[in-house]
Structure 1
Amino acid sequence: MTAIVCMALTAAGLVIAVLRGVRGRFRSALRWGAVALVPVGLYLTGLITVFRRIGSALGSWGTHLVFDPKIWTGVVLLGVAVLVLLATGVGRGRRAPKAGKAEKPAAVPGGSVPAVAAKRQSAADLGDFSDIEEILKRRGI
């Protein structure tokens, strides 16, 4: 029965593709032809059976969700875990160091110049961008 439905859908899609092609809409015809091949491709690869099993498993889980206290306990535990993770700041970036604790600048490999000075030197090598900096400052960027 599944094979018949898939082949009928493919045939209908190919008919639409041919009609589009006759009318001069070749891109649309190619799209319809490609979409028309999907049902038979799914059937021949066995993915329709996989999707049916997944749907059946989800349906079974859904019916058990309503009546099974064990599943409700699991849902509550997952909710508590998410709340604790959100409350403790998972997903936030690293905080800036406190004002009292200043970090030493990192050294540039192969030299004793701090990394900040090396960045300034490389920025100076790129040329004068003072006009661009001025525009960005006026815009608040």
Structure 2
Amino acid sequence: MTATICMALSAIGIVIAVLTASRGRTRAALRWLAVALVPTGLYLTGLITVFHTIGSTLVHWATHLVFDPKVWVGVAMLAATVLILLGTGVRFGRGKRRGKEQGQVPAGGGKPSAPPGRPAGAALPAKSNPTADLGDFSDVEEILKRRGI
């Protein structure tokens, strides 16, 4: 059956090529002749059966993808894996940051908490401390200044 269909398609293509050549359009006739040889060439090389096998395998896979609950459980598990990895902060394609970029200050290189000669809990006078009116936000401003922001 496949051989008959391929030969018929080639015959139709050859007829169209001959009719095109009779009108004086040689290049178009040669193109039709080249296209006409494809079905018979595919049949004789056995590629028709290869394409049929590939097509039926893809259809079988696609129907199992849609109608098989086991496949959907697998898809849900893969989606949950991606969500968990993204939710826990795993970022793909980025190197690890070290040192000051992560907020770690070296042991001896940190900023002193209070100026020398003044106890750690003593506040600066209102005139020299522009952040005295900020209240709870002074520690945030200090962190931003330390990072250069």
Report the TM-score when normalising by structure 2: 0.52
Output the aligned Cα RMSD.
Answer: 2.9
How far does residue 2 in structure 1 lie from its aligned partner after superposition?
A: 0.2
The equivalences for 1:124-135 within 5 A come to none
Please give the alpha-carbon distance, in whole angstroms, between the structure 2 residues aligned to 1:17 and 1:82. 56
Report the equivalent of 1:31: 31
* Matching residue's letter, 1:72: W
How far apart, in 1, do the equivalents of 2:25 and 2:5 lie? 27
Match of 1:64 in 2: 64
Q: Secondary structure at the match of 1:31?
A: helix
| Secondary structure of 1:60's aligned partner | helix
Residue identity opposite 2:4 in structure 1: I
Per-residue CA deviation, residues 116-139 of structure 1 (Å, 9 max, x unaligned), is xxxxxxxxxxxxxxxxxxxxxxxx
In structure 2, the CA distance between the partners of 1:35 and 1:77, relative to structure 1 (3 Å rule), is: farther
- The question of 1:52 aligning with 2:71 is answered no
- Counterpart Cα distance in 2 of 1:68 and 1:27: 52
- Judge which range, 5-14 or 64-73, deviates more: 64-73
Give 1 or 2 for the bigger CA radius of gyration: 2
Shifted more, 17-26 versus 72-81: the winner is 72-81
The Cα shift of 1:59 comes to: 1.2
Structure 1, unmatched stretches of 5+, are 95-141
Aligned-partner residue type, residue 72 of structure 2 = W
- Name stretches of at least 5 consecutive residues in structure 2 with no aligned partner: 96-149
Moved segments of 4+, more than 6 Å: 80-85
What CA distance in whole angstroms lies between the structure 1 residues aligned with 2:39 and 2:82? 39
CA distance in 2 between counterparts of 1:42 and 1:22 reads: 28
TM-score by length of 1: 0.54
Once the two structures are aligned, what percentage of the paired residues are identical?
66
Shift of 1:41: 0.6
Read off the aligned partner of 1:27 and give its amino acid letter.
R
Length, aligned pairs only = 92
Distance 1:43 1:58 in 2: 21
- In the TM superposition, 1:77-116 aligns within 5 A as 88=91, 90=93
- Aligned equivalents of 1:42 and 1:3: distance in 2? 10
The letter for the 1-side match of 2:43 is Y
Per the alignment, do residues 81 and 13 of structure 1 end up closer, same or farther by CA in structure 2, a change over 3 Å counting?
farther
Secondary structure at the aligned position of 1:39 is classed as helix
Q: Residues of 2 paired with 1:2 and 1:81: CA distance?
A: 47
Counterpart position of 1:43: 43
Residue 60 of structure 1: how far off its partner (Å): 1.0
> What one-letter code is carried by the residue in structure 2 that aligns with 1:40?
T
